[in-house]
Structure 1
């Protein structure tokens, strides 16, 4: 049985992205933005909805932006934040489930081995 190489680009990319999500507050920020949809939220509204404000929110947005998961755009006097990596999030899920139950004698129901 061959186990995937943890130094492969897929593993390194996934690890980097999961690291960006490794904070409850960052996960809350991203979750709030995903719920808001492609129009995003103003930085103030984002802070209110997810309960993270000020420099802490700025820090978390920077980490999420560096991971390519969110973007910020100035519109007039407002800064609008939006989740931009829906495909990336789906790819992370697929990365984890791609080989679901591959080493099991009985595959998990609902997961095919496409």
Structure 2
């Protein structure tokens, strides 16, 4: 998966991020991490909050991390997961909304 490398998303980067969110479990994980804020959550608490555990949880977190949507850091014996960058979500929304209604003007004059 492509990660975010600048402030302007390419179609490939946006598709990669949206593909990572194309799972109910991953979307649930990301929503829960968004609720947790910048401090994030340890993996055990995150699994309990989303009813995911073990290899399934690890798999989904890996996909979100590879897409650049979350970050994972070690704190002692715990792994803390958090939203990587809230600006990323703004760029994703901006990507979709950048051309909002652009074709409407074209049809009025055509």
**Corresponding residue of 1:26:** 26
Deviation at 1:79, TM superposition (A): 1.1
Deviation at 1:49, TM superposition (A): 1.1
More helix by share: 2
Quick one: distance in 1 between partners of 2:40 and 2:16?
Answer: 24
Deviation at 1:26, TM superposition (A): 0.4
Extract structure 1 runs of 4+ deviating beyond 2 A: none
Deviation at 1:85, TM superposition (A): 2.2
Deviation at 1:90, TM superposition (A): 0.8
Deviation at 1:33, TM superposition (A): 0.4
1:38 match: secondary structure? helix
1:63 match: secondary structure? helix
**Corresponding residue of 1:57:** 57
2:31 match: secondary structure? helix
Quick one: distance in 2 between partners of 1:104 and 1:30?
Answer: 34
Structure 1 length-normalised TM? 0.81
| 1:1-114 equivalence runs, <5 A | 10-105=10-105
Deviation at 1:50, TM superposition (A): 1.5
Structure 2: state its 5+ residue gaps. Answer: 1-8, 106-110
Structure 1: state its 5+ residue gaps. Answer: 1-8, 106-114
RMSD across aligned C-alpha pairs, in angstroms? Answer: 1.1
**Bigger RCO of structures 1 and 2 (CA < 8 A, at least 6 apart):** 2
Quick one: distance in 2 between partners of 1:42 and 1:96?
Answer: 32
